[in-house]
Amino acid sequence: MRSRNGDGGLACSWPDELLVQARVALGQKYRLEVGMMLERSVMRRACGVFLGAVLGACGSSGGNNPGADGGTTTGDSAATQGNDASTGRPGIWQPVNIGASANFSGLWGTSASSIYAVGPQTIQYYNGSSWASGGTTPYTLQGVGGGATTGFAVGITVPPNGSGATGMGVLLELMGTTMPNQVTDPTPTAQPTVAWGRADNDIWVVGGDTVLHWNGSSWSDLSSMGIMQGTVSDPASDLHAVWGSSANDVHLAGKLAYHWNGSVFTQELQNPGDTYYGAWGSSANDVWLVGSGVARHYNGTTWSNGGVNGTLRAVWGTAANNIWAVGDTGILHYDGTNWIRLEFFAAHTLRAIWGTGAGNIWAVGDAGICLHWTQ
């Protein structure tokens, strides 16, 4: 809501409990940080600027760059954004103590009260009220994912100190707060980096030039079905991302990108120099890949440039008009037309994002940073 105050400026009415601190510098951009109560008098001066932790500010605009399908992307300036397009309600990102200082790179759960975050030698488990250790592990875990009830953490073993050996692939079946169960990796020389599942009998694990599939009872190695091969130390495909709309429609990406039609992989998006780290879609006709200075959108027929700057590590959403991406400069939000960069937390590297719905989303990253979005 916006209105005019007595001196002709914008004035807003905000709840007293809004946890935001505004720093206002004459001739400079407004910068917003979570943590302090914002007095109404300061809030009036901050109108027209995105409220850092809140999607629901009065509205302002900065310099824009071309975005996907005619949209725009802000630079590092505070961005204009209304309420969450999918719900029409404002929300807030807040830091949460995850109980460990690892560089987290994987995040997934089965419900709002059963969520896993993984990193090197670390599994943290959220039970709906707090984070705690989900079991100690000697492995360098890099990703986690699964179906409705079955999930796997993936990574590599840690070679002995001073050893020149390469770590071997590891798959861990997750079991709440108890020690995860190690399962047999059908390709132990693989370097799995991410897991994703559409259902308990349709789970994918990718990394390097390896693609593994879980059918609910056993693993299959699909790497020979069209994935270009290099070496363990210099993979040709270097896969980091996977998402699909069905068992016969799966997109994989890294240095190269592929589409699975149920029987074979075919290469797509032949853009030398692109490296993709995250994938998500709302349907077969709405798929996003994000990566090192690049975002690509697939409309079911062709791929287009998403118009996003900076390295993005992961992407997740609830609808075509409510998508979040995280990376080396914090958080971006897509409202169906524009990618909006949220300036707060821009100094932090975030590597994974996942949620149960539009009003309950988590993001984790380096040095134990953990953020929670609620509406």
Whether the CB-CB separation of 289 and 279 falls below 8 Å is answered with yes
Is 180 or 362 the better-scoring residue by pLDDT? 362
Domains belonging to the chain, first-starting first, are: 92-374 (2.130.10.10)
Average of per-residue pLDDT across 251-264: 97
The per-residue pLDDT for 270 is 82
Per-residue pLDDT tens digits for 5-43 = 444 433 333 333 333 332 322 222 323 333 333 333 333
Per-residue pLDDT tens digits for 137-155 = 888 999 999 999 999 999 9
Per-residue pLDDT tens digits for 34-66 = 333 333 333 333 333 333 333 333 333 333 333
The per-residue pLDDT for 66 is 36
Tokens of 93: 């990102």
The per-residue pLDDT for 174 is 87
Per-residue pLDDT tens digits for 321-354 = 999 999 998 999 999 999 998 877 888 899 999 9
Per-residue pLDDT tens digits for 64-107 = 333 444 343 443 332 223 345 555 567 999 999 999 999 999 99
Average pLDDT value over all residues in the chain: 78
Euclidean distance between CA atoms 262 and 284, whole angstroms = 14
Identify which of 45, 50, 53 has the alpha carbon closest to the alpha carbon of residue 19.
Answer: 53
The per-residue pLDDT for 52 is 38
46: Cβ contacts below 8 Å, ≥ 6 apart: 22, 24, 30, 32, 38
User: Does the pLDDT of residue 282 top 80, yes or no?
Assistant: yes
Beta strands in 112-256, from DSSP E residues, in sequence order: 114-119, 122-126, 131-133, 140-146, 151-156, 169-173, 181-183, 194-199, 202-207, 210-214, 219-221, 241-246, 249-253
User: Does the pLDDT of residue 119 top 70, yes or no?
Assistant: yes
Query: Edge-to-edge, what's the strand order for the sheet holding 106-111?
Result: 106-111, 114-119, 122-126, 131-133
Identify which of 78, 193, 93, 218 has the alpha carbon closest to the alpha carbon of residue 141.
Answer: 193
Identify which of 23, 32, 75 has the alpha carbon closest to the alpha carbon of residue 57.
Answer: 32
What's 38's DSSP letter? P
The per-residue pLDDT for 43 is 35
Per-residue pLDDT tens digits for 288-301 = 999 999 999 999 99
Max avg pLDDT among 231-235, 306-310, 365-369: 365-369
Q: How confident is the model at residue 161 (pLDDT cuts 50, 70, 90)?
A: low
